[in-house]
Chain A
Amino acid sequence: MLRYVIPLAVFLGLAALLWQGLGRNPSVVPSPLIDKPVPQFSLGRLKATDQRFDSADLAGEVCLLNVWASWCPQCRTEHPMLEQIARSGIVPVYGLNWKDKREDALRWLQRFGDPYAAIAHDPDNEVGIDFGVYGAPETFLIDAEGRIRYKHIGALTPQIWRDKLRPMIERLKNQSRQTGTQS
């Protein structure tokens, strides 16, 4: 009896493992920066060119940092979602304009609208590398202490907002309310 059970068990175990793997996207690489502080940086702003956008600007409240570019088609796809989030006022959405020419980026914003509270301009991928950015769009959820809590790779969908980001944001805001820091 056992000689039939053992191979069957091994097969079922392997099948379960592989079945689970089918649902995963192999090109999504989990970020090693989760729970680490935002990397230090200082960039020029895309619009107000005389002002800087620093890593310190990401701390102080729970926020989203969205990596985007005018040449990125999925950024157009997620744009309505970003506008919705910005309008809701739940969290500010900051932009990291990645490997993009200023004129192209400004033209893109003119055409589609600007949901960002502020945009850092990173044309030479100085800062993208420190964030482990390997494509656009990518969205980071950053807590009030300036720690990266979640990274979403690809276009931000209503499902991700509803099922992952929104609950995390609520939790983080509650936490910081309890500890007395500003959220």
Chain B
Amino acid sequence: MYFRTGPLTARSGRWLACIAVVLSLASMSAVAIDPMQFDDPAKEQRYRELIAELRCMVCQNQNLADSNAPLAQDLRRLVAERIRQGHSNARIKDFLVERYSEFVLYRPRVESKTWLLWFGPFLILAAGAGALLVLVRRRRSAPAEADPESEAEHT
């Protein structure tokens, strides 16, 4: 009885499984777009990581790994070439940041320019928590004041 009327019936469960399989296949095909050859699996791993961290400047919400744009192809080829030549990740990133600005990095670097981006949310959270603390303390130390107010708010 439960299975017929519950949120996940046997039939919808099968649909979900189908959709899940199709989606995972679709994301796998992104890597197969233009397979780069590396003789060293460690280099291939670095390549995969790097292109996932670099932004496609054309479709700016995609990384280089997922984008079909011609510029993304060019940059993937460039990254692969430089990895084969033995450049470090930092050097490749520097090369691209010099030309395309920090925006090309999906993971912004932690430096003086970006510390507000990285730590801002925590600062705001702390400020909010602090304000909450002050408010709670005030309420606690002056409960008598609250009563006439709450009565006034009762319409």
The chain A residues found within 8 Å of chain B, CB to CB, are 26-27, 29-33, 99, 125, 129-132, 134-135
Does the CB pair B97–A129 fall under 8 Å? no
5 contacts between A and B (CB under 8 A): A29-B57, A30-B101, A32-B97, A33-B99, A135-B58
The interface stretch among B16-24, B26-34, B70-78 is B70-78
Interface pair B70/A132, CB less than 8 Å apart:
no
Query: What is the predominant secondary structure among interface residues of chain B facing chain A?
Result: helix
B38 within 8 Å of A (CB atoms): no
Total contacting residues, chain B, CB less than 8 A: 14
Q: Within 8 Å CB of B71, what residues of A?
A: 125, 134-135
Interface of chain B residues 80 through 111 with chain A (CB within 8 A)? 97-101, 103
In contact, A29 and B99 (Cβ under 8 angstroms):
no
B60 contacts across to A, CB distance below 8 A? 26-27
Are the CB atoms of A134 and B70 closer together than 8 Å?
A: no
Contact among B74, B75, B101 for A29, CB-based, below 8 A: B101
Most buried by B among A26, A31, A131, A132: A132
Residues of B whose CB lies within 8 Å of any CB of A are: 57-58, 60, 70-71, 74-75, 78, 97-101, 103
Q: Give Cα distance in the complex from A33 to B75, angstroms.
A: 18
Of the candidates B70, B78, B103, which one forms a contact with A129 in the assembled complex, judged by CB atoms under 8 Å apart?
B78
Shortest Cβ-Cβ A-B pairs, 10 listed: A134-B57, A132-B99, A32-B101, A125-B74, A132-B100, A29-B103, A29-B101, A134-B71, A134-B58, A27-B60
Q: How far is the CA of A104 from the CA of B10 in the complex (A)?
A: 57
Residue of B with least CB distance to A132: B99
For B97, list chain A residues within 8 Å (CB).
32
Specify which chain A residues have a CB less than 8 angstroms from the CB of B101 in the assembled complex.
Answer: 29-32, 132
B57, A129: Cβ atoms under 8 Å?
A: no
Q: Looking at the assembled complex, report how far the CB atom of A92 sits from the nearest CB atom of chain B, in whole angstroms.
A: 25
Given contacts A27-B60, A29-B57, contact A134 B100 (CB under 8 A): yes
* A32 in contact with B100 (CB, 8 Å): yes
State the CA gap A32–B103 with chains docked (Å). 10
Q: Which residues of B contact A31 (CB under 8 A)?
A: 101
Among A27, A30, A129, point to the contact of B99 (Cβ < 8 A): A129
How near does chain B come to A62, taking the closest CB pair, in angstroms? 23
Residues of B within 8 A of A129 (CB): 74-75, 78, 99
B59 to chain A, nearest CB (A): 10
Q: What are the residues of chain A within 8 A of B58 when measuring CB–CB?
A: 134-135
A131's contact among B57, B75, B99, B103, by CB below 8 Å, is which? B99
Q: A31-B101, A125-B74 provided; 14 other pairs, C-beta below 8 A?
A: A26-B60, A27-B60, A32-B99, A129-B99, A131-B99, A132-B99, A132-B101, A134-B57, A134-B58, A134-B71, A134-B100, A135-B57, A135-B58, A135-B71
